[in-house]
Amino acid sequence: MAGKSGAEGGAGIDPMHQFEVHPIIELPSIAGIDTSFTNSSLWMVLAVGLASLFMIFASRRTAIVPGRMQLMGEMAYSFIANMIKENVGTEGMKYFPFIFSLFMFILFCNMLGMLPYSFTVTSHLIVTFALAATVFLLITGVGFARHGIGFLKLFVPSGIPVFLLPLLVLIEVISYLTRPVSLSVRLFGNMMAGHTMLKIFGGFVVGLGSAGLVPLAIAPFALMVAFTGLELLIAGLQAYVFTILTCIYLNEAIHMDH
Amino acid sequence: MPQLDPSTFGTQLFWLGICFVALYLVMAFAVLPRIAGTLHARAAQLDDDLAEAEALREKAETALAAYEEALAEARSRALTLAQNMRAEVQAETDRQKAELDAKLAEQAQAAEAAMSKARDEAMLGLSDAAAAIVGDVMDAIGTAKADDAAVAKAVKTVAAE
């Protein structure tokens, strides 16, 4: 609604417009997959490039007494390493590079999405679902690799009357299979909702301002500033949530303690 | 909602794959081992430093114990020395006192002896004199010839009373 009123003001503000994917460089399809370099691809490459540059620069010095950059890199490292050690244990450190990359990728995509005129990679369900599905497949693979067919015991709760078992096993299987969905929708929903809201308030500010009602535009502007702070928090928090849920699922697959 | 347009799924998945694998390779092989090495080296250095500090502390404690032992020994030696000295002085004093006492006692004895001798002599002279006086008085009265020996005996008897 607000978007439409903003669009009448000539600014062309459609809160969903920011999520549109459009090609920058058209590339041929390979095996039926469109490989065009889009704005989404651009921001993915930027996120990965910045994350890599940051971490490479942060790990360039290996002094015993760290400098500022080195300390930031080590803090990022210890943050994820401690998360894995606390939630999974030392066996989980085998998957540390994957989980660290996952965290950095989501964090940088979320944070770059906060820049004006940028594109938020993680506001697309297909991207978050691909990440969540990767996590799901990896963890299921780890579970079967470690416990063999015994991994299926994960779906059989202990201390339950036999006549209830079929129902509970069904529930357990469904809850296990919906994990990638909940994991991906949580991240996608947070990112999309936040950016849509920011855009709507931005539309208010521009609409009221261009209609000559500048004093009235102060309220949505103040709200927008506050929400921008909140969105920054959410951008970090959702990266954290995605990562820690990955750790919790991994712990279950490794230790099978339900 | 542009998110539900399947025509963009292919490119997004394709580039997501490339980007994520690239990030994973950089992190797993370039960045994380270096940071792990640094953290490990730091932990090792800290352990070394702590061990060294512990060794130094033990050394300091040993030195302190040795110092305290030496101090206690010196103190006990000083105490013994002082005790010996005191005992010596006490013995010397006692000896001198005893000597003095003995000398004084001897002198007192001698003085007492001399005194009693002088008194005896004086007493002897006195009875002689009394006997002579009694003899002279009897002569003067002229009643009887004074017997010197009887007079002396009578005087002695009276004096003894």
Task: State whether residue B42 sits within 8 Å of chain A by CB.
Answer: yes
- B143 vs B75: which has the higher pLDDT: B75
Averaged pLDDT, B125-141 = 81
Closest CA to A93 of B39, B150, B84, B3: B39
Kindly report, residue by residue over B14-57, the tens digit of the pLDDT. 999 999 999 999 999 999 999 999 999 999 999 999 999 999 99
Averaged pLDDT, A240-248 = 95
Cα A74 to the center of its chain, rounded Å: 22
pLDDT value at position B4? 81
* The two three-digit tokens of residue B147, written as one number: 């017997």
Q: Would you say residue A81 has pLDDT above 80?
A: yes
3-class state of residue A25 by DSSP = strand
Q: pLDDT grade, residue B146 (50/70/90)?
A: low
Closest CA to A102 of B10, B37, B21, B18: B21
Q: Where are the beta strands (DSSP E) in chain A?
A: 23-25, 37-38
Cα A255 to the center of its chain, rounded Å: 26
Asked if A242 contacts A109 with a C-beta cutoff of 8 angstroms, the reply is no
Q: Which residues of B touch A56 (CB under 8 A)?
A: 26, 30-31
Please report, rounded to a whole number, the percentage of residues in chain A having pLDDT higher than 70.
94
pLDDT value at position A258? 53
Q: pLDDT grade, residue B143 (50/70/90)?
A: low
Q: Would you say residue A171 has pLDDT above 80?
A: yes
Q: What is the DSSP string of A90-142?
A: GGGGGGHHHHHHHHHHHHHHHHHTTSTT---GGGSHHHHHHHHHHHHHHHHHH
- B114 vs A213: which has the higher pLDDT: B114
Q: Which residues of B touch A124 (CB under 8 A)?
A: 2-3, 8, 12
Task: For residues B93 and B9, give the distance between their C-alpha atoms in angstroms, rounded to a whole number.
Answer: 118
Please judge whether A130 and B36 are an interchain contact, meaning their C-beta atoms are less than 8 angstroms apart. Answer: no
Task: For residues A245 and A131, give the distance between their C-alpha atoms in angstroms, rounded to a whole number.
Answer: 13
Averaged pLDDT, A212-233 = 87
User: What is chain A's mean pLDDT, rounded?
Assistant: 86
Kindly report, residue by residue over A61-77, the tens digit of the pLDDT. 877 888 888 899 999 99
Q: Would you say residue A204 has pLDDT above 90?
A: no
pLDDT value at position A10? 40
User: What is chain B's mean pLDDT, rounded?
Assistant: 89
Q: Which residues of A touch B47 (CB under 8 A)?
A: none
Kindly report, residue by residue over A24-54, the tens digit of the pLDDT. 887 777 777 788 888 899 999 999 999 999 9
Q: Is the dihedral of CA B41, B46, B51, B53 positive or negative?
A: positive
Closest CA to A84 of B32, B29, B17: B32
Domains in chain B: boundaries: 10-160
pLDDT value at position B160? 72
* The two three-digit tokens of residue A116, written as one number: 């004006």
Q: Would you say residue A8 has pLDDT above 70?
A: no
Residue type (1 letter), A89 = G
Task: For residues A212 and A217, give the distance between their C-alpha atoms in angstroms, rounded to a whole number.
Answer: 9
Q: Would you say residue A256 has pLDDT above 90?
A: no
Question: Count of alpha carbons within 13 Å of B160, Cβ hemisphere only?
Answer: 6
pLDDT value at position A12? 53
Task: For residues A46 and A53, give the distance between their C-alpha atoms in angstroms, rounded to a whole number.
Answer: 10
Name the minimum distance, in Å, from the CA of A16 to any CA of chain B.
Answer: 7
Averaged pLDDT, A160-184 = 90
Q: Where are the beta strands (DSSP E) in chain B?
A: none
For A:64-83, CB contacts with B below 8 A are: 64, 66, 70, 73-74, 77-78
Residue type (1 letter), A247 = C
pLDDT value at position A4? 37
Looking at the structure of chain A, the number of domains it has is 1
B32 CB burial (10 A radius; 0-12, 13-18, 19+): buried
Asked if A251 contacts A125 with a C-beta cutoff of 8 angstroms, the reply is no
Shortest CA distance from B1: residue in chain A: A16
Kindly report, residue by residue over A136-153, the tens digit of the pLDDT. 999 999 999 998 888 888
Name the residue range of residue A55's domain: 2-255
- End-to-end Cα, chain A, rounded Å: 46
Cα A172 to the center of its chain, rounded Å: 25
Q: Which residues of A touch B43 (CB under 8 A)?
A: none
